[in-house]
Amino acid sequence: MKWTSKPFHALSVSALALMLVVTGCGAKNNAENGGAANKENAGAPSDNSGKDFKIGMVTDGGGVNDKSFNESAWEGLQRLKKETGADVKPLESKGESDFEPNLNQMVKAGYNLTWGIGFMMNKAITTVAKQNPEAKLASIDSEVDAPNVASVMFAENEGSFLVGVVAAMMTKTNKVAFVGGVEGDLIKRFETGFVEGVKAANPNVKVEISYVGDFTKPDLGKAAAATLYNDGADIIYHAAGGSGNGIFTEAKDRVSKGEKVWVIGVDKDQSIEFGNDITLTSMVKRVDEAVVIVSKEVIAGKFEGGKTRLLTLKDKAVGLPENNPNIPEDVMAKVKEYEGKITSGEITVPFK
Amino acid sequence: MQVLNKIFTKQGTYVPLIAIVLGLLVGAIVMLMGGYNPIDAYAAMLNKIFGSTYDFGEAIRQVTPLIFTGLAVAFAFRAGLFNIGAEGQFITGMTAATWIGINLELPWFIHMPLAVLVGGLAGAMWAGIAGWLKASRGVNEVISTIMLNWIAYYLANFMVRVVMVEPGQNRSRDIQESASASIDWLVTLTDSARIHWGTLVAVLCSFVFYYILWKTRQGYELRASGFNPDAAHYAGINVKGSVVKAMMISGTLAGLGGAFESLGVFKSMAVMNALPGYGFDGIAVSLLGGNNPFGIIFGGLLFGFLSYGSSGMSFEADVPNEIIRIVIGAVIFFVASHGIVKFFLKPFFRKRREEKKGAA
Amino acid sequence: MQQQPIVAELKGITKRFPGIVANDNISFQLRKGEIHALLGENGAGKSTLMNILFGLYQPDEGHIEINGQPVVIDGAGKAIELRIGMVHQHFKLVKPFTVAENIILGNEPVKGISVDIKSANDRVRKLSDQYGLKVDPRVRVENITVGMQQRVEILKTLYRGADILIFDEPSAVLTVQEIDELLDILRALAREGKSIIIITHKLKEIMAIADTCTVIRRGKVVGSVAVKESSERQLAEMMVGRSVNFQVVKDKSKPGKPVLEVNGLTVQGEHGKAVVDEVTFQIRGGEIFGIAGVDGNGQTQLVEAITGMRKASGGSVKVLGKELLNASVRNITEAGVSHIPEDRHKHGLVLDFSVSENMVLNNYYKEPYSRNGILSYKAMDVNATKLAEEFDVRMSSIHTAARSLSGGNQQKAIIARELKRDPELIIAVQPTRGLDVGAIEFVHKQLIAARNAGKAVLLVSFELEELYGLSDRLAVIYEGRIMGQMEADEKNEEQIGLMMAGNVMGDAQRHTV
């Protein structure tokens, strides 16, 4: 989860320019073609059903390499290309004011479907959808009230509940913590689910709540983590985007000094980036799945505009990653048990 | 060297133009190295900016706040102050204007101007705090404005999330139609590009900037205090008062930019996930414009157009963002470093001079 | 001397700047082992000529020969290669570095891969001893006096093997004692066979050390003379182009009503010690009151307290009977006080403003320069043109930045501004510092004229001759206290000298008796 808005200014740009000139332009290979190309060579045959379709996505300020939902969405589109032969393209926004022109760019270029990724895009998608009633758009993480927009939301509360169960059962100090980015309805959902999960598994475990007020400040995340760990919490679940990276840094420092602390990642399996020695598990949100499902509906001529769908644990759209080397079997069994209860409706996790 | 300087002051337009060309050349080389066709890329960029009325309108929209913050930074700079806080003043102006836009119900010819005015005043007050701290306590304005940026940022987010929030959303309610600063007929004409009165006001502000600094008594005092505060003190100028005034005028400019961004572009205000960067870009723009009010218009155009056109490069020519940033960085780098351009041009001009001498 | 070979020759040098011909067909010869003075008024083109010889400017016409060979000096590097060294007026030293480190900078002796600081120290010490410079190579430059720093600059040129040394107004920054020592050093250098050019407008120094003197006036060579066969008066006339009166002529003063009354004025210094201590004096209209003293004895603080630029902790300052202690600078200016400040760059001018803007620095807000808050550049230009003409301020245009004027012309501009405001009290601190004889004479006449017109003048100077010549009465300040007041008369010279060293008046009189 990373809602970065990169201020675009001369200093950073020229510094970046220098850096990239030095480190070489090979970066383009794996950033653009490499990943997709490799998969294509190895991958399954395409059914070519979508070869006349153009499907695009506009990122929010985070960009396609945000290690979070934008990247996840782009992975979904790349998979779509592989499976259906559709023409896919990302367009990065540098700030809030880019949302509208970027969406418009794709809409006016005749794209069959244009994705707006992230709840920040809500208003821009609404505006563009109303100005272009013929165009099809789709939104991730927010509900857009327009007949030509398909909205996808996730039951983060349910996934967060499960990692809450893990945290409650594995804490040694009976104290765990949640660190959010900026307060708001979406992040609140992560918080509520987590707190409920902890409460359900072990009511004696205390949950500390902290918001850093920013999605892009690892230093703030690090400072918040230091405070919480010092206070006796040994597991932190974060929903703080780029600020969350600082939490991993703090955990790494402490683990290397012999302390035993954990971080629970978010959106993607963050152990891949930060390692299994500090990443207990992650609350994975399958933005890629959602992107593939809705895009395929467009290709199949079954696009459902004006509809909001909530992807839940039942849809396997939220939850723990496949591999969880740090979670002992008994805990895993408990997680499965709660998973069953939630999907069966025995437990309702508040969506608030 | 003297003659060379003369050539450049007389024909000062050469340098920035050649700088842009040099920057584009470097960018082209980088693109070639990366295996992209620079001609396609630049064509895509130009097409993105000038290709349709919508895009041109949006490009102008992109430029507008940069002129405001560029002017803000430059004005303070002319008075010897480094206002890093245009960012915070911009945000404060935006918040105040949005509040007026949402909560008051007035006829449009009062509502919009009032919201703009209050935005400017809020920016002025925000900058005035830093000015007052410097004048009365000697607090370095660089430090205080950086701090004030963060305070403004958190305060604005609080205001949006708690006071002005649209239920269920991560942004404020929409402003009343009567507070909108859009130029409706132009918006229609440009296929819904978000064109607003702020652009015109920004250009007017650069004239006002010029007028205040060079034509008024006040401006004389501000410039004297900026160039040499000791001499200004000797001359009986209230140097501390000048600091506060200069900061407040600077803050007004930034605040106006923020007000128009909300009233003219977004019509609401989102919870920010990070500092939006308008004020920092303003530092670059004022540098590009040589702290000259009219230069800043051109600096803002260059910066805004490059930034807006770059998405065309990625969309139409498939140039990755990393390389686009190198291209933009190269252009800005060359424009900002006149010295390098002059260095490249030196042999050329010397040769010409010698030829002239030979002919004579 | 005539038998010595010519080491450097400039032939027909012309250099133009926008609006001004700085050097007009100048020819100049330097012989081996001589001290050659380059004399001229402020802005006559001396520094430009030497900057051409040192490669900092390129001449528009003419050429240079070194040891008979025509050369093109296109930079300081080339000049050093040709064994030309220059000691600038403003030193170019790295303050936190030691003397030796500064001297070897850019030309470091190496041992392996590291700088061989020990051999550098030895070499510097040897050079220093050879010319009697008495410089310790190991001390940091920030900890040594201005005079010492100048010697470091001299050593720097010697270390790089210079045979021709150019000094740009070397005595301008030095104390009297240091000037004497500098002259000794110059003599020693010449004895060792170095050829020296010294840019100056101080006639006494030229008479004391120079062999030859070339006089430049308004960009042209007036003549070259052997100093032995010349006189101060002749040189001055060549420089100014008319006969110069060294003696200030003035009638006996006719003191009028008291204009400035200072009573028990006290200013606290940074460490709580009074830097101005219970100072009391009175100046009447029509008299010039001089304050003598060694630099740094509270003169600066005294003047700043009177003019409102510094807070006083006690006492009283009255101008025409109006109490103005700790009033604002603006109020004091309005009360009829004008101030020729000690530091013209720090206080006297906004260097980046045009001359025209500077000429209204303390009345820009008044009509006709501003009306209803709007500036009138036209009125400013009229004023500037008039003042520049009357006070002979030379520049390419009144719209050029004050920064581009020569030091003397900057000072003249300030004096013009301050005297022409029609003040009741003129406070002049070192008003003739850096001026040539012609300009000094002019400033002195202006001050006397103001006094004769019934103005009160407070004159602070470190030059006793100036004080004797101008003042009607004198006070001596020492460590912030007035040691005594008396008639300004050379008869009191010894007594004044003793008071400047800290003896109070009574003691001083006892000594003289």
Q: What pLDDT is recorded for position B11?
A: 45
Q: Which of C410, C415, C416, C425 is nearest to C307 (CA)?
A: C425
Q: How far off is chain B from C314, nearest CA to CA, in Å? A: 21
Backbone dihedral angles phi then psi of residue C290, each to the nearest 5 degrees = -95, 145
Strands annotated E in C241-395: 258-268, 274-284, 288-292, 314-319, 322-323, 337-340, 370-371, 374-375
CATH of the domain at C299: 3.40.50.300
Specify the CATH number of the domain A46-154+287-311.
3.40.50.2300
Express each pLDDT in A287-335 by its tens digit: 999 999 999 999 999 998 899 999 999 988 999 998 899 999 999 999 9
Q: For A214, which of B192, B273, B280 is closest by C-beta distance?
A: B273
Check whether residue C166 and residue C26 sit in a common domain. Answer: yes
Least confident interval from A163-167, C13-17, C360-364: C13-17
Please provide the average confidence, as pLDDT, over all residues in chain C.
88
User: Could A123 and B58 be called an inter-chain contact, meaning their C-beta atoms sit closer than 8 Å?
Assistant: no
Name the residue in chain B with its Cα closest to that of A180: B273
Instruction: List C21's β-bridge partners, or say none.
Output: C16
Residue entry with tokens 């009144």 = C398
Residues of C in contact with B232 (CB under 8 A): 350
Are C125 and C219 within one domain? yes
- The overall average pLDDT reported for chain A is 86
pLDDT for res B131 = 96
Do residues C327 and C299 share a domain? yes
The band of B351, judged by pLDDT with boundaries at 50, 70 and 90, is: low
Instruction: Report the pLDDT value the prediction gives residue A17, as an integer from 0 to 100.
Output: 44
Instruction: Choose between A151 and C469: higher pLDDT.
Output: A151
Residue B135 confidence (pLDDT) above 80: yes
Model confidence at B213, in pLDDT bands (50, 70, 90)? very high
The ipTM assigned to this model is: 0.84
CA A170 from centroid of its chain's CA atoms: 24
Q: Are B242 and B232 in contact (CB under 8 A)?
A: yes
Can you tell me the distance from the alpha carbon of B99 to that of B88, in angstroms, rounded to the nearest whole number? 16
User: Is residue C416 one of the residues assigned to a domain?
Assistant: yes
Which partners does chain C have (≥3 C-beta pairs < 8 Å)?
B
Task: Compute the nearest-CA separation of A7 from chain B (Å).
Answer: 4
Contacts of B343 (CB under 8 A, 6+ apart): none
- Residue B94 identity: M
- Nearest 5°: CA angle at C161, between C155 and C162? 80
CB distance A66 to A59 below 8 Å: yes
Burial class from Cβ neighbours inside 10 Å (0-12, 13-18, 19+) for residue B257 reads buried
Of C407, C422, C437, the residue that ends a domain is C422
Ranges of beta strands (E only) in chain A are 54-58, 87-91, 113-116, 137-140, 149-154, 175-180, 206-211, 235-239, 262-267, 279-285, 308-311, 318-319
Task: Record the tokens describing residue C183, joined without a space.
Answer: 């002259």
**pLDDT at A27 > cutoff 50:** no
> Which B residues in the span 164-223 are in contact with C, Cβ-Cβ below 8 Å?
214-220, 223
User: Percent of chain A, pLDDT > 90?
Assistant: 67
The top-scoring range by mean pLDDT among A85-94, B11-20, B68-77, B169-178 is B68-77
Query: Is-contact A317 A290, C-beta < 8 A?
Result: yes
Cβ within 8 Å of residue C122, ≥6 positions away: none
Q: How far A227 CA lies from chain B's nearest CA (Å)? A: 20
Domain shared by C408 and C475, yes or no = no
Q: Please, which pLDDT band fits residue C240 given cuts at 50, 70 and 90? A: confident
Three-class secondary structure of residue B331 per DSSP: helix
Pairing between strand C274-284 and C258-268? Answer: antiparallel
Q: What is the pLDDT of residue C510?
A: 46
Token pair 């029609």: residue: C422
Report pLDDT for C338: 95
Report the SS3 class of residue B164: coil
- What is d(CA A282, CA C275) in angstroms, rounded to the nearest whole number? 71
Q: Which CATH number fits domain A156-284+322-344: 3.40.50.970, 3.40.50.2300, 3.40.50.170, 3.30.450.40?
A: 3.40.50.2300
Q: Out of C389, C422, C455, pick the residue that ends a domain.
A: C422
CA distance C322 to C326: 12
Burial annotation B134-166 (CB, 10 A radius, 16+ → b, else e) = bbeeebebeebbebbbeebbebbbebbbeebbb
Rg (CA), chain C: 25
Helix H, strand E, coil C: the string for C157-211 is HHHCCCCEEEEECCCCCCCHHHHHHHHHHHHHHHHCCCEEEEEECCHHHHHHHCC
CA-to-CA dists, residue C67 to A312, C37, C226, angstroms: 94, 20, 22
Query: What is the spatial distance between Cα C39 and Cα C41, in angstroms, rounded to a whole number?
Result: 7
Residues 214-253 of A with CB under 8 A from B: 214-217, 241
Nearest to B44 by CA among B318, B233, B349, B360: B318
- Asked whether residue C310 falls in the same domain as residue C387, the answer is no
Question: Which one of B217, B221, B238, B350 would you mutate to disrupt binding with C, by most C Cβ within 10 Å of its Cβ?
Answer: B217
Q: For residue C480, is pLDDT > 60?
A: yes
Are B89 and B72 spatial neighbours (Cβ–Cβ below 8 Å)? yes
d(CA A34, CA A26): 10
Give the pLDDT band of residue A190 (cuts 50, 70, 90): very high
Q: Which residues pair with A54 in a beta bridge?
A: A87
Number of neighbouring beta carbons within 10 Å of residue B131: 30
Helix (H) or strand (E) holding C38: strand C35-40
Residue C82 shares a structural domain with residue C165: yes
Task: Kindly list the partner chains of chain A, i.e. chains with 3 or more CB atom pairs below 8 Å.
Answer: B
The structure's pTM equals 0.80
Q: How far is C154 from chain B (nearest CA, A)?
A: 27
Q: Which of residues 93-132 of B touch C (CB under 8 A)?
A: none
Dihedral pair phi/psi, residue B83, rounded to 5°: -90, 95
Higher pLDDT, C407 or A98: A98
Question: Residue B93: its pLDDT value, please?
Answer: 98
Give the pLDDT of residue B345: 66
| Angstrom distance (rounded) from CA C467 to CA C479 | 19
pLDDT digits (tens, 9 = 90+) for B311-341: 899 888 888 888 888 888 888 888 877 767 7
Biggest CA–CA distance in chain C, Å, is 78
Cα dist. C243→C45, C223, C237 in Å? 21, 16, 5
Chains C and B touch each other (3 or more Cβ pairs < 8 A): yes
| Cis before C368 (ω within 30) | yes
pLDDT greater at residue A264 or residue A36: A264
The pLDDT score that the predictor gives to residue B347 is: 60
Out of B1-5, B159-163, B326-330, C206-210, least confident range: B1-5
- What is the secondary structure of A51-74 as a DSSP string? TT-EEEEE--TT-TTSSSHHHHHH
- Is it the case that residue B106 has pLDDT exceeding 80? yes
- Contact residues, chain C, for B218 at CB < 8 Å: 373
Structure tokens at A221: 């995340």
Q: Quick one: C324 and C359 in the same domain?
A: no
Q: Following DSSP, what letter does each residue of C126-160 receive, concatenated?
A: HHHHHTT----TTSBGGGS-HHHHHHHHHHHHHHT
Regarding whether C154 and C40 lie in a shared domain, the answer is: yes
* Cα–Cα distance measured from residue B197 to residue B179, given in angstroms and rounded to the nearest whole number: 12
pLDDT band at C111 (very low <50, low <70, confident <90, very high): confident
Residue C417 has a pLDDT of 95
Amino acid sitting at position B305? F
Q: What is the pLDDT of residue B352?
A: 54
Q: Give residues with Cβ within 8 angstroms of B154, minimum separation 6.
A: A213
Region A203-208 average pLDDT: 96
pLDDT digits (tens, 9 = 90+) for C396-433: 899 999 988 877 889 999 999 999 988 999 999 999 87
Residue A335 identity (one-letter amino acid): V
In-domain check, residue C247: no
Q: Which residue has the higher pLDDT, C195 or C273?
A: C195
Task: Please check whether residues C434 and C418 belong to one and the same domain.
Answer: no
- Cβ of A145: how many Cβ atoms within 10 Å? 12
Determine which helix (DSSP H) or strand (DSSP E) holds B350, and give its type and residue range. Answer: helix B338-359
Q: Are residues C450 and C407 in the same domain?
A: no
Task: Of C110, C111, C154, C113, give the one whose Cα is nearest residue C131.
Answer: C154
Structural domain spans, chain A: 46-154+287-311, 156-284+322-344
The helix (H) or strand (E) run that includes residue C463 is none
Please tell me whether residues C205 and C67 are part of one structural domain. yes
Kindly report, residue by residue over B115-130, the tens digit of the pLDDT. 999 999 999 999 999 9
pLDDT tens-digit readout, C196-239:
999 987 888 899 999 999 999 888 999 999 999 988 888 888 88
Counting the structural domains of chain C, the total is 3
Please, which pLDDT band fits residue A44 given cuts at 50, 70 and 90?
Answer: low
Check whether C4 has a pLDDT greater than 50: yes
For residue C315, what are its two tokens?
């006492």
Query: Distance (Å, rounded) from C-alpha C314 to C-alpha C311?
Result: 9
Task: List chain B residues with CB under 8 Å of C18.
Answer: 6
pLDDT of A37 above 70:
no
Question: Is C1 contained in some domain?
Answer: no
Residue-level pLDDT at C142: 83
Residue B136, pLDDT score: 93
Range of the domain at C356: 344-422
- Binned at pLDDT 50, 70 and 90, residue B229 comes out as very high
pLDDT at A160 over 50: yes
Is A47 a residue whose pLDDT tops 90?
no
C449 lies in the same domain as C513: yes
Which DSSP symbol is given to C459?
Answer: E
CB contacts < 8 A (B, C): 71
CA C483 – CA A284 distance, rounded (Å): 88
Q: Which chains touch B (3 or more CB pairs under 8 A)?
A: A, C
Last residue of a domain, one of C393, C422, C451: C422
Examine residue C246 and state whether it is found in any structural domain, yes or no: no
pLDDT tens for residues A265-283? 999 899 988 999 999 999 9
Non-local CB neighbours of C208 within 8 Å, separated by 6+ positions: C183
- Whether the pLDDT of residue C507 is over 90: the answer is no
In a domain, C245, yes or no: no
Query: Alpha-carbon distance A47 to A138, whole Å?
Result: 24
